[in-house]
Amino acid sequence: MIKLRQIKRDFPLGSQVVKVLKGIDLDVRRNEYVALMGPSGSGKSTLMNLLGCLDTPSSGEYWLNGKDVSKMTDNELAEVRNSEIGFVFQTFNLLPRSTALENVALPLVYAGASTTDRQARAEEVLNSVGLSDRMDHRPNQLSGGQRQRVAVARALVNHPSIILADEPTGNLDSKTSVEIMKLFSDIHARGNTVILVTHEEDIAQHAHRIIRLRDGMIESDEKNEHGS
């Protein structure tokens, strides 16, 4: 599903060039549950941006479902993001004046779905994350855990190939974090590929494979027998 070959990402900084990713080779198969870990400055956020088609590599190849996305234009990347990838962020990124239902339906607006289809699909995924009684609530009327569930539902609404979660429990207390990680395990069990970016060891342990980055390189890539 995902194939990275010699991916490098450089950023100019004044007269210098900062080499953030230094030749990443990585394969992720369909329905894997992967955690990306690494200290600050290891390149994990840059790698996640590349995997999510929010950025393009300086060199190397990125193949997603048989397409070379490393050579795509911005418009083509936007299309891939909307159809193939569901994002879950630490800060939820919900529209404050919109209801949970409207927030979840938003990607379907960009996809050109009819009003009826948007409503039905948004209700279906909100039900699947346990929020059938909160559809008409705005974000400020929801707890942190409920807001993250809305964000997860929004990520699922377009039937993406991949769920990319960036520190999804970073703003949550430990009890709520456990509930959200259970939700990711359920999503994985239903057939989704899940890639989780985290610096928390206990969160990474939910994944079935843990990839550790250091100084822009993959330091280790191991199966995790304890994954949930």
Complete DSSP assignment for the chain: -EEEEEEEEEEEETTEEEEEEEEEEEEE-TT-EEEEE--TTSSHHHHHHHHTTSS--SEEEEEETTEEGGG--HHHHHHHHHHHEEEEETT----TTS-HHHHHHHHHHHTT--HHHHHHHHHHHHHHTT-TT-TT--GGGS-HHHHHHHHHHHHHTT--SEEEEESTTTTS-HHHHHHHHHHHHHHHHTT-EEEEE-S-HHHHTTSSEEEEEETTEEEEEEE-TT--
In this structure, is residue 61 part of a structural domain?
no
In this structure, is residue 16 part of a structural domain?
no
Expressed as residue numbers, the domain containing 124 is: 31-55+73-223
In this structure, is residue 84 part of a structural domain?
yes
In this structure, is residue 111 part of a structural domain?
yes
Assign residue 93 the CATH number of its domain.
3.40.50.300
pLDDT at 110: 80
pLDDT at 71: 87
In this structure, is residue 122 part of a structural domain?
yes
pLDDT at 119: 93
Name the domain count of the chain: 1
**pLDDT by 10s per residue, the chain, length 228:** 999 999 999 999 999 999 999 999 999 999 999 999 998 889 998 999 999 999 999 999 999 999 999 889 999 998 898 889 999 988 888 999 999 999 999 988 888 889 999 999 999 999 999 999 999 999 999 999 999 999 999 999 998 989 999 998 888 888 999 999 999 999 999 899 999 999 889 999 999 999 999 999 999 999 988 776
In this structure, is residue 110 part of a structural domain?
yes
In this structure, is residue 4 part of a structural domain?
no
pLDDT at 103: 95
pLDDT at 228: 67
pLDDT at 226: 75
In this structure, is residue 216 part of a structural domain?
yes
